[in-house]
């Protein structure tokens, strides 16, 4: 077993495009769930809105800036569609309504009659040229940038650069919002909406604002994932929302740096376990009991175990404050 290689591989993934996109999506979810207390189980719908919103205009030949605006607009429309009815409900219904809303959007996107626009189950490919035209890094087949094995090809590095920059900007924006009186008001809404109302806060409006801004962060993450890969409706399954939840809870819901740390840590653990399980099988640690094809499921089992242990021993996440968890909501 090559421990060094496993670790470097894991490190590479933990700073890669996927981790960056999850961090960005988790920033949005953290604003909604961590700070405002909105149980949004359909966050993936915002990613889908961003991805399709940017991919469809680009396919039709629109310039990049216009496509980006379309992606943001699409996510705002989706947030309004989900939020306007659902945020008037009691908060536990919000969870159900957002799951349903997310699924409905996905089913529409992959439906036959939407095929002329969304290309249905096939998804949209090869639309991101105008994004990669801006890439300043060399993209030759042998060009790799980094130190030794901790290196990326120019294409990935370009997406990563944009994505991590957005993560940093997003973190600063959220930090500024949360420290402001507006942030105090949404935290009050999270704690006790009736108390907030008795002090003259428009709870519905505050929730709507937070929900929409969170959705915009989700859309940005969706766009960057779309540039990096393709757009396919089955990427936007409800389960992926829960991966974003895992990332956010790992770092600590309701903390400023939680999403970043959570994303890096999550993907490090994920990739490290993957490498570890695979090479331990190859080294014959378990004799005939396990084959290489078992590695995939086992790493998920171990990852799940890790998350459970985290919840038991550090329920507030890496960055959360223990006191906050101990305060009961009675």
Partner 1 sequence: MTRSSVAVPDSSPAPDLSSVASAPGASKPDPILCVKQFRKSFGAFTAADVDYLEIQRHAITALIGPNGAGKTTLFNLITGFETADQGSCLFNEHEISNLRNWQIARKGIVRTFQHTRALTKLTVLENMLLAAPRQYGEKLLRSCGWKWRGQDASNTGKAMDLLDRFSLAHMADEYAGTLSGGQRKLLEMARALMAEPELIMLDEPLAGVNPVLGEAILEHIKDVCAGGTTVLFVEHDMPAVQAISDWVVCMAEGIVIAEGTHAEVGQNPLVLEAYLGGSVPRGTVSVSDSESESQTSAEEPEPAASQATSGNQKQQES
> Which spans of this chain sit near partner 1 (rule: CB under 8 A)?
173, 176-177, 180-185, 187-188, 190-192, 194-203, 209, 323-324, 327-329
How many Å separate Cα 122 from the centre of its chain? Answer: 23
Three-class secondary structure of residue 101 per DSSP:
helix
Minimum distance between the CB of residue 175 and partner 1, rounded to whole angstroms?
A: 11
State which residue, 183 or 262, has the beta carbon closest to partner 1. Answer: 183
- Yes or no: say if 201 and 189 are a contact pair by the CB < 8 Å rule: yes
Q: Detail the DSSP E strand segments found in the chain.
A: 145-147, 150-152
We find the least distance from the C-beta atom of residue 167 to partner 1, in angstroms, to be 18
In the complex, least distance from residue 188 CB atom to partner 1, rounded to whole angstroms: 5
Looking up tokens 């909501």 gives 329
Nearer to partner 1, 126 or 328 (CB): 328
Using CB atoms within 10 Å of the CB of residue 2, give its burial: 0 to 12 exposed, 13 to 18 middle, 19+ buried.
exposed
Angle at 109 between CA 105 and CA 111, to 5 degrees: 110
Nearer to partner 1, 90 or 112 (CB): 90
Q: Please, are residues 207 and 38 in contact by the beta-carbon 8 Å criterion?
A: yes
In 111-237, which residue ranges form alpha helices assigned H by DSSP?
115-118, 129-132, 154-179, 181-191, 193-198, 203-228
145 versus 321: smaller Cβ distance to partner 1: 321
Q: In the complex, what is the shortest distance from the CB of residue 131 to partner 1, in angstroms, rounded to a whole number?
A: 27
Which region holds residue 147: left if phi is over 0, alpha if psi is between -120 and 50, else beta? beta
> Least distance from C-beta 154 to partner 1, angstroms?
34
Task: Choose between 201 and 229: whose C-beta lies nearer to partner 1.
Answer: 201
Cα–Cα distance between 59 and 129 in angstroms, integer?
Answer: 10
Residue 117 or 184: the one with the smaller Cβ distance to partner 1 is 184
- CB of 249 within 8 A of CB of 262? yes
All residues at 6 or more sequence positions from 212 whose CB lies less than 8 Å from its CB, including other chains:
76, 79, 80, 83
CB of 205 to partner 1, least distance (A): 9
| Residue 122 beta carbon to partner 1: minimum distance, rounded to whole angstroms | 40
Q: CB-wise, 132 or 205, nearer to partner 1?
A: 205
């Amino acid at each position: 077993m090559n421990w060094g290689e496993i670790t470097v591989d894991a490190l590479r993934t933990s700073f890669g495009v996927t981790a960056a996109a999850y961090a960005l999506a988790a920033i949005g979810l953290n604003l909604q769930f961590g700070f405002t207390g909105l149980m949004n189980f359909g966050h993936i719908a915002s990613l889908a809105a961003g991805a399709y919103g940017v991919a469809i205009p680009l396919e039709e030949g629109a310039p990049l800036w216009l496509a980006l605006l379309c992606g943001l607009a699409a996510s705002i429309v989706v947030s309004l569609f989900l939020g306007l009815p659902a945020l008037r409900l009691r908060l536990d219904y919000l969870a159900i309504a957002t799951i349903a809303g997310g699924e409905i959007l996905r089913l529409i996107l992959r439906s036959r009659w939407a095929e002329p626009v969304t290309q249905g189950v096939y998804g949209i490919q090869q639309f991101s040229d105008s994004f990669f035209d801006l890439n300043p890094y060399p993209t030759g087949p042998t060009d790799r940038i980094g130190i030794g094995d901790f290196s990326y090809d120019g294409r990935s590095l370009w997406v990563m650069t944009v994505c991590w920059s957005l993560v940093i900007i997003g973190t600063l924006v959220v930090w500024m919002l949360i420290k402001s009186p507006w942030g105090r008001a949404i935290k009050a809404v999270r704690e006790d909406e009736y108390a907030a109302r008795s002090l003259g806060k428009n709870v519905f409006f505050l929730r709507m604002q937070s929900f929409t801004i969170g959705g915009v962060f989700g859309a940005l993450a969706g766009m960057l994932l779309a540039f990096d890969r393709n757009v396919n409706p089955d990427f936007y399954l409800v389960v992926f929302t829960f991966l974003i939840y895992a990332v956010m809870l790992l770092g600590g819901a309701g903390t400023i740096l939680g999403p970043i740390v959570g994303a890096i840590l999550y993907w490090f653990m994920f990739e490290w376990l993957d490498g570890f399980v695979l090479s331990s099988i190859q080294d014959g640690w378990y004799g005939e009991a396990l084959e290489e094809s078992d590695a995939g499921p086992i790493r998920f089992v171990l990852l799940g175990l890790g998350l459970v242990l985290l919840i038991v021993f550090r329920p507030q996440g890496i960055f959360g404050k223990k006191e906050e968890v101990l305060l009961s909501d009675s």
